[in-house]
Amino acid sequence: MNLFDVYPLNNITITKANGSYVWDDKGTKYLDLYGGHAVISIGHTHPHYVKRITDQLQKVGFYSNSIHIPLQLELAALLGKISGKNDYQLFLCNSGAEANENALKLASFHTGRKKIIAFRKAFHGRTSLAVAATDNPSLVAPVNQTDNIIFLPFNDSEALEDCFKKQGNEIAAVIIEGIQGVGGINVASVEFLRKIRSLCDQYGSVYIADSVQCGYGRTGKFFSHDFAGVNADIYSMAKGMGNGFPVAGIIIAPHIKAKHLMLGTTFGGNHLACAAALAVLEVIESENLMENAAARGNEIMSRLKEFESLKNVRGIGLMIGFDTTESNASLKKNLLFNHHIFTGEAKPNVIRLLPSLALGEQEINTFFEAVAGELQISEPTHSA
Ligand SMILES: Cc1ncc(COP(=O)(O)O)c(C=O)c1O
């Protein structure tokens, strides 16, 4: 049997990983500034993480949500403490798309309404509502098309206000990434997030903070939406939550009440997933990884800005993007194949950095030596 061919692949096979590094089957060592797409939060194969999952596997790996799973309560308590959202309620699932799907569905249950506001260049996942709220027609199958999603320009408070004035009483939810990831690292402004909060309050709509990529401490705050100083009603989480173990969830403000069976899942919140998620939070806390993400991110951004030919350096913490130009259009490929450094991208010309929150000074220096080397080749006058 062949694999269903949906991904363009780099011809690399990873067989070993540790911290911010991975090794291929030929023993070549790579610096991982992509974090397997923002997933590796505490570093590959962190010993505490490996031990917690292994110990749990020796006891019980899975039983269904029809019984008590105290690890879920332990996870909810620690998540509440570290995120500062102690009074929120946790629902666990398996992927980012599923988290957003549940968030949107819950907003509709809660308000009795059908319309969702999403934004240009948004990416919320590939399941039916999540993909309908994703601004990329090539991902949307005919069956996913719906008039219930309204796309508005990102960071445009006037357009948002206009929309609410016209049909605010039909709006179930506004869903927004705190920093658009797949869309190319676009930071939602504080003013815009506050406007969403106040319009949702005024019209009884639900503010959903898609924190799948920008959350879990990556920006130095637990949720990047927190920079606006207002709370969302629902936060969706995935990627960094399990450091590679598939675990996701939404946290839900106390005024949104649960009813039996409105949401459900077979695998969500299983014993192993909770052990992985607990290990991640324990390491984030004990190793001060949010502080590290903020400091390393600031350093990387200010050093990137020294390169004239790297444009529009942007982001917060360790969620960083910059544009390449015609003269250095092959930078991403060259970093990978000449210097063995993984980075992310967003079409057409954005390089995204989404490393582990435990990234160190040595890794940053290695990256900048490589960048300087590459840019001198394509830009001989550069002095860095
Ligand atoms: C902001 C955002 N939301 C949702 C998703 C979907 O997550 P998953 O691929 O786990 O379904 C992604 C994935 O890249 C994402 O970046």
| pLDDT > 90? residue 379 | no
Contact 35, 352 (CB under 8 A): no
Instruction: Give pLDDT, residue 269.
Output: 98
Dist. CA 183–CA 133, nearest whole Å: 13
What contacts 193, CB < 8 A, 6 or more positions away? 176, 178, 225, 227, 228, 230
Residue 315 reports pLDDT greater than 80: yes
- The pick from 6, 179, 212 for probing ligand 1's pocket by mutation, whose C-beta has the most ligand atoms within 8 angstroms, reads 212
Would the pLDDT of 382 be above 50? no
Assess whether pLDDT exceeds 50 at residue 120.
Answer: yes
pLDDT bucket at 378, cuts 50 / 70 / 90: low
Model confidence pLDDT, tens digit, residues 261-296 = 999 999 999 999 999 999 999 999 999 999 999 999
pLDDT tens digits, 157-166: 999 999 999 9
First and final C-alpha spacing in the chain:
50
pLDDT for res 380: 45
Q: Is the CB of 125 under 6 A from ligand 1?
A: yes
Verify whether ligand 1 is closer than 6 Å to residue 244 (CB atom).
Answer: no
Q: Is the CB of 213 under 6 A from ligand 1?
A: yes
Task: Check if 177 has its Cβ closer than 6 Å to any atom of ligand 1.
Answer: yes
CB atoms within 10 A of CB 269: 23
Q: Considering the chain, what is the average pLDDT of its residues? A: 96
CA distances for 4 relative to 7, 8, 17, angstroms: 9, 11, 26
Looking at residues 73-102, what average pLDDT do you find? 98
For range 205-220, the mean pLDDT:
98
**Whether residue 13 has pLDDT greater than 90:** yes
Q: Is 182 in the pocket of ligand 1 (CB under 6 A)?
A: yes
CA distance 358 to 267: 29
Predicted local confidence at residue 377, as pLDDT: 59
- How many angstroms does the Cα of residue 212 sit away from the middle of ligand 1? 6
Q: What is the pLDDT of residue 59?
A: 98
Percent of the chain with pLDDT over 90: 97
Between the CA of residue 249 and those of 110, 111, 241, what are the distances in Å? 18, 21, 9
Considering only CA atoms, which residue is closest to atom 3 of ligand 1?
124
For ligand 1, whether the C-beta of 127 sits within 6 Å is no
Q: Exposed, middle or buried: residue 330 (CB in 10 Å: 0-12, 13-18, 19+)? A: middle
Whether 363 shows a pLDDT value over 50: the answer reads: yes
**Best mutation site among 34, 121, 123, 265 for ligand 1, i.e. most ligand atoms within 8 A of its Cβ?**
123
Reported as a single tens digit per residue, the pLDDT across 316-334 is 999 999 999 999 999 999 9
pLDDT band at 376 (very low <50, low <70, confident <90, very high): confident
Of the candidates 295, 313, 275, the residue with the CA atom closest to the CA atom of residue 358: 295
The yes-or-no verdict on residue 87 having pLDDT over 60 is: yes
User: Quick check: 384 pLDDT over 50?
Assistant: no
Q: Are 217 and 40 in contact (CB under 8 A)?
A: no
